């Protein structure tokens, strides 16, 4: 291919920009509940995200990438003109990166999955032809955006009701918090470890049977629980602190749990959403190196590395605004509420990541926060903020598509 090296360099640059946007917007979402509930500081959130987003992207990021890559465009139609796929994927990355920059500046928690899917569908439908888009596949992805917040809302509602029954509404909430919170910590470790082992580690060269995966996940859950018990034992409880707010000491116990759910959410997010940045990069690299459009392209490790680093940098440099919207704008969060929202979202995201559905982490997390708000009654929600978030979601698809179409024809004009 004539401009192969230039295309690979552009793909790396645009992919890094897109990953930066994911960090600035989506990761800020993922950490917003932890910061908003004051379970962790912004500095701690950035450290947690840096470690676990990167681990999720690198260890469990391969499965979703192939869905974004092969599912939405008919590879057969591009065999004679592989360069069109290159222009389209470069245009999609640039379009998504710019839209995420705009949204992050405004503090809107938009969906990076929405953005990149809108961009890819936009360039394919206009630049190649309507028949180039696999519309049933796009339909499935759109359905998953509706199902994921619903699922997260239901799970978080259930989790928070279980917290109310087992701990908050009992005669001795503090004693029950010390008893039951370690079990929730076990659940966090078990779920994340299980999905990683069942689906994520194949491209790292680690093949485990189902029984081995369950056994190892239970071990990870147990070790996580022991760490949690040790951290809870280090807490200092003062009865006088409960005078103003009856659950001050109980929320301290949940603060420990929130550290674990924050790690789980960051890992889940890295595993699912790194695909949005690295999928198109892998497609460009594949075409540039071979000159043919293949239904699936191998994910070079350096591409996952690039995505992981870009995500972390985006959060560090630009993540604060979106964190504020999700963490305190929708409903008032305490560690016990934040835990239910975050764990519900993490569970839905890691399962979706395992099945290869590119769901929106943003939608899932906002669904989780809404579920916790509803468990306390509709009055607990700030409906103005909810309305603004929904509006920003609606705008995202066409914004990604329009920008991608513009860049597609610009790149086509430059290189052909």
pLDDT digits (tens, 9 = 90+) for 373-415: 777 666 666 777 778 777 877 888 889 999 999 999 999 999 8
| Helix axes 301-318 and 4-22, enclosed angle (nearest 10) | 40
Q: In this structure, how many other beta carbons lie within 10 angstroms of the beta carbon of residue 158?
A: 14
How far CA 334 is from CA of 35, 126, 247, in Å, comes to 10, 47, 10
At 386 the pLDDT is: 75
Q: Which DSSP letter does residue 12 get?
A: H
Q: How confident is the model at residue 329 (pLDDT cuts 50, 70, 90)?
A: low
Residue 174 CA to residue 215 CA, distance in Å, equals 32
Q: In this structure, how many other beta carbons lie within 10 angstroms of the beta carbon of residue 227?
A: 15
The radius of gyration computed from the CA coordinates of the chain, to the nearest angstrom, equals: 21
Looking from the CA of 256 toward its CB, the CA atoms found within 13 Å total: 26
Q: Enumerate the β-bridge partners of residue 73.
A: 133
63 φ, ψ to 5°? -65, -45
pLDDT digits (tens, 9 = 90+) for 170-215: 888 888 988 998 999 898 888 878 766 765 555 556 677 778 888 9
Cβ-based neighbours of 130, under 8 Å, separated by 6 or more: none
At 204 the pLDDT is: 58
Q: How confident is the model at residue 306 (pLDDT cuts 50, 70, 90)?
A: confident
């Amino acid at each position: 291919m004539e401009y192969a090296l230039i295309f690979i360099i552009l793909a790396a640059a645009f992919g890094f920009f897109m990953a930066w946007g994911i960090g600035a917007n989506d990761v800020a979402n993922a950490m917003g509940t932890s910061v908003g509930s004051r379970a962790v500081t912004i500095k701690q959130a950035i450290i947690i995200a840096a470690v676990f987003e990167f681990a999720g992207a690198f260890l469990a990021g391969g499965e979703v990438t192939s869905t974004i890559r092969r599912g939405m465009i008919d590879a057969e139609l591009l065999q004679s003109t592989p360069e069109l796929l290159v222009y389209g994927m470069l245009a999609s990355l640039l379009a998504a990166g710019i839209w995420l920059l705009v949204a992050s500046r405004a503090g809107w928690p938009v969906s990076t999955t929405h953005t990149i899917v809108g961009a890819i569908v936009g360039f394919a439908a206009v630049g190649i032809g309507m028949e180039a888009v696999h519309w049933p596949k796009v339909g499935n992805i759109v359905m998953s955006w509706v199902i994921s917040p619903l699922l997260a809302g239901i799970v978080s509602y259930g989790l928070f009701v279980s917290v109310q029954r087992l701990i908050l509404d009992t005669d001795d909430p503090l004693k029950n918090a010390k008893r039951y919170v370690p079990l929730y910590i076990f659940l966090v470790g078990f779920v994340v470890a299980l999905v990683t082992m069942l689906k994520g580690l194949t491209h790292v060269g680690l093949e485990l049977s189902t029984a081995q995966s369950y056994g190892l996940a239970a071990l990870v859950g147990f070790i996580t629980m022991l760490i949690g018990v040790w951290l809870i034992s280090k807490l200092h409880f003062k009865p006088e602190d409960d005078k103003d707010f009856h659950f001050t000491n109980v929320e301290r116990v949940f603060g420990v749990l929130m550290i674990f759910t924050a790690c789980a959410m960051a890992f889940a997010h890295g595993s699912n959403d790194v695909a949005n940045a690295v999928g198109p990069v892998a497609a460009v690299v594949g075409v540039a190196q071979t000159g043919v459009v293949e239904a699936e392209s191998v994910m070079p490790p350096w591409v996952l590395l690039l995505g992981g680093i870009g995500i972390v940098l985006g959060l560090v440099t630009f993540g604060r605004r979106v964190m504020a919207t999700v963490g305190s704008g929708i409903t008032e969060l305490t560690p016990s509420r934040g835990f239910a929202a975050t764990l519900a979202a993490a569970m839905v995201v890691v399962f979706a990541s395992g099945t290869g559905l590119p769901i929106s982490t943003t939608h899932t997390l906002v669904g989780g926060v809404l579920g916790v708000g509803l468990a306390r009654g509709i009055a607990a929600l700030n409906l103005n903020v909810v309305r603004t978030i929904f509006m920003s979601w609606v705008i995202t698809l066409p914004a990604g598509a329009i920008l991608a179409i513009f860049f597609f024809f610009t790149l086509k004009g430059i290189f052909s």
